[in-house]
Chain A
Amino acid sequence: MSLTETPILKGQALPERPAIQRFFGSVSVSVAIYLAVIGLIAWGSYTGAQNMGYNWQWYRIPQYLYSFTDDGFQPGELLIGLGATLQLSITAFVLASVLGLLVALLRLSGLVIGSAVAVGFLEFIRNIPLLVLLYLFYYVLGPIFGLDRYTASILTLAVFHSALISEILRAGINAVAQGQWEAAKSIGMTTSQTYRYIILPQSVRFMLPPMTGEVVHLIKSSAIVSVIAVAELTTFGRNIISDTYMSFEIWFTVAIVYMVVTLILSIGVTYLERRYDVDQ
């Protein structure tokens, strides 16, 4: 898509994704597909593995998750990896939200230059693959600005997801009734006071569901940084496999760990949403 096709109007929506993409992008549908695919793979690979005489060693897996020693509970490598993944994801998410809010406010500012910069940024990010962006940060910007692999990874994830988050924020801000702006203005509030006390608190309700989807998306896409060997869940999984050759067991376990975390997140937010609704 080119810039000229996108009218640079105050906060106008980028074209919506086709219905079919929205369907496959929703949390419940993703989870269902995820489960179905996992099931198929599990079944297929189990029978396949039997045929090729794969030596299943599930009993060796728990030690990579946790163990009990004299000192009590000890997290295994995979749990430590999960911790690293979460830390990476949370840091990237916070950065992405700040950047996303800036981009959203730029688009809503009504300044022609502001919107042009914001839309240019969005189109740029939306049209390059995450992996290429990671290589850009690590192999190009890394040497120039002296970024280590961990920083490069965080920046990549933050920049990539800030584009998606800014659209969520913009839509949430626009969902608040125009009358709220007028009421806030008419008691003399500044624009920033209006955002802070009136608009943003109300748009949280509209943003919560898509933002959860975005966190889930971010946690999943954080696995990509394993290609530059940043220590996190997927990298740790790979390292274990190169030591033990238990690739089937480890990859299944890693997939399940990701799934458990993202499911807990989705359920938690559904619960939050309900409570928030009651408060209204």
Chain B
Amino acid sequence: MTQTAPIIDATNLDKFYGDFHALKDVNLTVHQGQKMVICGPSGSGKSTLIRCFNGLEWHNSGKLVIDGIEVHEHAKEIRELRQEVGMVFQQFNLFPHLTVLENLTIGPMKVRRIGQQEAEETARKYLDRVHIPEQANKYPSQLSGGQQQRVAIARSLCMETRIMLFDEPTSALDPEMINEVLDVMVELANTGMTMVVVTHEMGFARKVADTMVFMEDGRIVETSPPDQFFTNPSSERCRIFLDQILEH
């Protein structure tokens, strides 16, 4: 896996919000097919980091190369990049005025210029994949949170993305709906999708992650394989954090 060029390659990334130093000298590589889970306390910069990966935020210095495209604010290829990199948000962010099916077809039709029939076939395929084929004609507000998040995952998949970013995809969900979303994500991981997941669901992390990343205060403090990460993390901060979230 390490022989091929990384699909995400971040070198010395720094990011400021005004005076606030949100990312400090971040170095990270993700290879094709890799499943990376990022955790860390609130405000440590996890969202900021993965939002840099699809151009929702811009780093101020350092170098970020994704799928061979160097990412910066004025890159012409930024829209192509976004089509390669899907994003699933904590708050789902479905389009409330469109039906589920339209939510899934609007990207392929308007951005990729695919015909309606083909787009709908793809949409139904992915709705099947996330186990809600029967909801195609409903509006998002008529679905449960778990169903909405699965639609959001399907929406990204419909763009035939090569990398999927998840920003705390289950933390806005009622507890009984978390598993239906995590199950879909595990299945997605098994298809070989490259995934970068910000989550505190350590059960999920144990099941699918091949790399664990711990962030604190804008820095990556620890990067290690899960067995080492959970049993013997090298940093004290990480150990304390894990103790806190695993207590529950």
Contacts and interface: CB of A to CB of B under 8 A. Distances in A.
A188 B78 CA distance: 8
Interface stretch (A27-35, A62-70, A99-107, A190-198): A190-198
Contact of A197 (B56, B80, B94, B106): B106
A187 interface: yes
B83 A188 contact: yes
B91 A186 contact: no
A185 B97 contact: no
A183 B89 CA distance: 8
B156 interface: yes
Contact of B93 (A182, A188, A190, A202): A182
B159 to A, nearest CB: 6
Contacts of A182: 56, 87, 89, 93
A197 B103 CA distance: 11
A183 B80 contact: no
On chain B, which size bracket covers the interface? 20 to 34
A180 B93 contact: yes
On chain A, which size bracket covers the interface? 10 to 19
Given A187-B156, A188-B83, A280-B139, A198 B93 contact: no
B97 A202 contact: yes
Contacts of A280: 96-97, 139, 141
B86 A186 contact: yes
Nearest to B55: A185
A182 B85 CA distance: 13
Nearest to A202: B97
Contacts of A187: 82-83, 86, 106-107, 111, 155-156, 159
A18 interface: no
Interface of A: 177, 179-180, 182-190, 193, 197-198, 201-202, 280
14 contacts: A177-B93, A182-B93, A183-B94, A183-B152, A184-B95, A186-B82, A187-B107, A187-B159, A188-B80, A188-B82, A188-B83, A189-B110, A190-B79, A198-B95
Interface of B: 54-56, 79-80, 82-83, 85-87, 89, 91, 93-97, 106-107, 110-112, 139, 141, 152, 155-156, 159
Q: Which 9 A-B pairs have the closest CB atoms?
A: A187-B107, A183-B93, A179-B93, A186-B87, A188-B83, A188-B82, A188-B111, A188-B79, A201-B97
